[in-house]
Structure 1
Amino acid sequence: MPSQSQTLRLYTALLLHREDWAGQLLLHIGLNESGRELALASLAAGAAALFLEEDTRQLREANREGCLTFSVTTLDEALRALKNEIRQKRAITIGLAGSSAQWLAEMVERGVLPTAITASRPLTGAEETSLQTLQQWGTHPLHASSLIAINKASHNIEAPLATLQARIAEDTAATLQERRSKDDTLRAQLSKALPQSLQERWFETAPTLFPRSLNRAYWTEL
């Protein structure tokens, strides 16, 4: 499974970068472990996210781990689903199989404009060309410690975390029933270094993102 601590870190970074992701389109290239962690983080943050991946093994793994709402094989299918969820401001993660360069070129041709773009693997020249066009239209390139910088203009969304007087800890329970009880206890002792609403949302969504996990990552005071 993707790291729960890194998922929490990316989720926090997303919401510190942008307070409300509902109705926003996040475009990501790559569904390696870092990409799957971002997928879970984007679900927790409430974004509508499209993940491009050419490796069918990576797509299967992402589906198995619950990182994707579902996978499709055409951009038409992906856009139909995304438009509906964006309109209703609901979180969704869609994996699109096939050539990422082809899909990016088609997105440019059709005028699809994501709010932000991220990547977790090196880009090809054709991919970079399409992403440059999207940036010229107003899409923001983002990166973090586990995500690559698309270019020099990429914004490090984890930068605010460096100034926090807090750290991520993990608590382990013996059973799922105990996990729920311990979550209630942790929820009553939220870190003062981060917005309460951000942490509350994590405790609401984490059990659905990691339904069989006896661990819980959370922010704690130093």
Structure 2
Amino acid sequence: MDVIVELFFKYIPALLAAFGTVVTLWRGWVYSSDRVFEQREKSSRFIYELYKISEEEHLKKLSIEYGYAAITRDDFLDFSQRKALLTSNNPTRDIDAYRKCSNLLTITCNPLRFEWVSKRYRYKCYRLLVKSLRVLIYAVGAYGLTLPLTYKVMLSVPILDKIGTLAPITKFLIVMYLIIVGGFLAAWNLNEISKLRIAEDLRKNHLH
């Protein structure tokens, strides 16, 4: 184990560089919706100023559509869907919630309702099955993520003996693999479970 720690510190500059790249990409993904808002908000203002000069009604309509698109920050809803979303009793909550689970739900208008994109999700038993499978995969990922710290307790003696015969670099690569893959599986499935719960709550709040 001491050798693994030594190798870890030997390669830590490269790991930190890789981590920094991932963080930068993640920040770019997180704040992309803010950039979308700013771009569309500027377009809406510019088009409206052009409308005031030309008094062409189609420019006024286009300015409004850009304004609605800026608020919802989506790329796939049409104008009527965006307008319906903004007429919600709690538009701030519903817009944020819908953006998180938009791959699961679509919007119907008059009145505003959220429908499952996939018909299979209409059935509670199917959603329960999906949640159960994701919880199981999350548990596997979490187990792999923590295994480098708990392997002495979690693994049998024969397996520990085999691990002891491995080269230090092999042990290090196994540890990194468990951390990366386990962390990914745990985080991804936890996020998918959260999205499904948000989608269920959103539909429940708009049943008529």
Calculate the TM-score normalised by the size of structure 2.
0.25
The structure with the largest alpha-carbon Rg is: 2
TM-score, normalised by the number of residues in structure 1: 0.23
More helix by share: 2
Q: If each structure's strand is expressed as a fraction of its own residues, which one has the higher value?
A: 1
